[in-house]
Amino acid sequence: MNRSKRIAVVIPAFKVANKILDVISNIGPEVNLIVVVDDCCPEFSGDLVKTGCRDSRVEVQIHEKNKGVGGAMITGYLYALEKGADIIIKLDGDGQMNPALIGSIADPILKGEADYVKGNRFFNVQAILRMPKIRIFGNLVLSFFSKVSTGYWHVFDPNNGFTAIHASTLKQLPLEKISNRYFFESDMLFRLNLVRAVIADVPMDAVYGDEKSNLSILRTLFEFPFKHSRNFIKRIAYSYYLRDFTLASLELPAGLVLLVTGSIAALYNWIHSANLNQATPTGTLILIAMMLLSSIQLLLSFASFDMQSSPKKPISNFDRIRD
């Protein structure tokens, strides 16, 4: 561990009064600052930490109104930056994340290999089998949506909240635009791609006990796909048409036009031939087939280009050079 770097841990606190003191007590000496953000917790987690914790590294911020996990993290991020943190770790207060892994999460940033690091609970097969089945299914679905919307095709487990970020990278993000609620982690990935930040996954095991998630599965099924679709459109518009223009910028619209046109032509000719009770001319079938095959080829080519274009050079390295 590079002792010259000041490491801060931010813990968003909401209904974690029975766990948070244990979490704090297990944070090692590599951490210089621990920021607990009481997000208008009905269990008064912030007051509990103030009275029950004697760790001199701990400072408590209290929200008078609930802002959500994202809102709590933004408060913690800004406070940690104000205190001069170089690397900021997000650690949930429910005990599902092992504080002993803080060094592993921070290490890729310290080595200059990444700007943002997140945990991945899907490396260890045995650990996956211990996960609740609904979490496995939900993460598989959300991971696919996240890959498409953020452009980080190599990243998995997007809703994993055990993360680390370099201060110089954090300063480039428009924190006021990032989702305040449970879409926070996914929205962070989207914003990180826009500034071309490098992201690394670190294997980890989650600990599942008697804690209850505050995330509504029903809300996730309806809200997340819409927000991922919105972010995908924004990312494509910015990355392929405003900031740059490549062959892939032509492949996507051409593929979509051919796909829609070919599908409409196929449906129209099928209905028309059925009404006339006669076969569609061979030439028409060949033309429609060529349109659909060409559209698939163009879209696959665009997807391949998009997968290969993930950021590869950490932007925080420029900050290191200046230092």
Determine contact, residues 63/76, Cβ cutoff 8 Å: no
Assign 46 a pLDDT band (cuts: 50, 70, 90): very high
pLDDT at 134 over 90: no
Assign 36 a pLDDT band (cuts: 50, 70, 90): very high
Determine contact, residues 13/22, Cβ cutoff 8 Å: no
Which is nearest to 80 in space by CA: 12, 133, 146, 140?
A: 12
The three-class DSSP label of residue 247 is: helix
- Cα dist from 307 to 145, 149, 280, 311, whole Å: 14, 12, 39, 10
DSSP state of 177: G
CA 151 – CA 310 distance, rounded (Å) = 7
pLDDT of residue 157: 86
CA 110 – CA 287 distance, rounded (Å) = 56
pLDDT at 115 over 90: yes
pLDDT of residue 104: 93
Burial of 280 (0-12, 13-18, 19+ CB in 10 A): middle
Residue 105 C-alpha from the chain's centroid:
15
Q: φ and ψ at 162, to 5 degrees?
A: -85, 100
- Do the strands 116-120 and 199-203 form a parallel or antiparallel pair, or are they unpaired? parallel
CA 230 – CA 253 distance, rounded (Å) = 17
What is the pLDDT of the chain when averaged over all its residues?
89
pLDDT of residue 37: 97
- Give the length of the chain: 323
Alpha helices in 42-132 (DSSP H): 45-52, 68-82, 102-110, 125-130
pLDDT at 208 over 80: no
Domain ranges, ordered by start, for the chain = 7-240, 245-308
The model's pTM:
0.86
DSSP state of 279: P
Question: The domain 7-240 belongs to what CATH superfamily?
Answer: Spore Coat Polysaccharide Biosynthesis Protein SpsA; Chain A (3.90.550.10)
Angle formed at CA 85 by CA 95 and CA 157, multiple of 5 degrees: 40
Contact residues for 51 (Cβ-Cβ < 8 A; gap 6+): none
Q: Which strand (E) or helix (H) includes residue 190?
A: helix 184-194
E strands within the chain? 7-13, 33-38, 58-62, 87-90, 116-120, 163-166, 199-203
Is pLDDT larger for residue 76 or for residue 217?
Answer: 76
pLDDT at 216 over 70: no
Contact residues for 155 (Cβ-Cβ < 8 A; gap 6+): 118, 146, 147, 189, 199, 201
What is the mean pLDDT of the segment spanning 118-128?
A: 79
Reported as a single tens digit per residue, the pLDDT across 154-164 is 988 888 889 99
What is the mean pLDDT of the segment spanning 48-57?
A: 94
Assign 40 a pLDDT band (cuts: 50, 70, 90): very high
Determine contact, residues 149/179, Cβ cutoff 8 Å: no
pLDDT at 322 over 50: no
Q: Give the residue carrying structure tokens 């002792």.
A: 3
Reported as a single tens digit per residue, the pLDDT across 223-267 is 888 899 999 999 999 999 999 999 999 999 999 999 999 999 999
What is the mean pLDDT of the segment spanning 24-28?
A: 95
% of the chain with per-residue pLDDT over 90: 70
Which is nearest to 39 in space by CA: 12, 78, 70, 11?
A: 12
Assign 321 a pLDDT band (cuts: 50, 70, 90): very low
pLDDT of residue 142: 82
pLDDT at 319 over 70: no
Assign 107 a pLDDT band (cuts: 50, 70, 90): very high
pLDDT at 51 over 60: yes
The three-class DSSP label of residue 270 is: helix
CA 297 – CA 221 distance, rounded (Å) = 30
What is the mean pLDDT of the segment spanning 84-98?
A: 93
What is the mean pLDDT of the segment spanning 289-299?
A: 97
CB atoms within 10 A of CB 285: 14
pLDDT at 105 over 60: yes
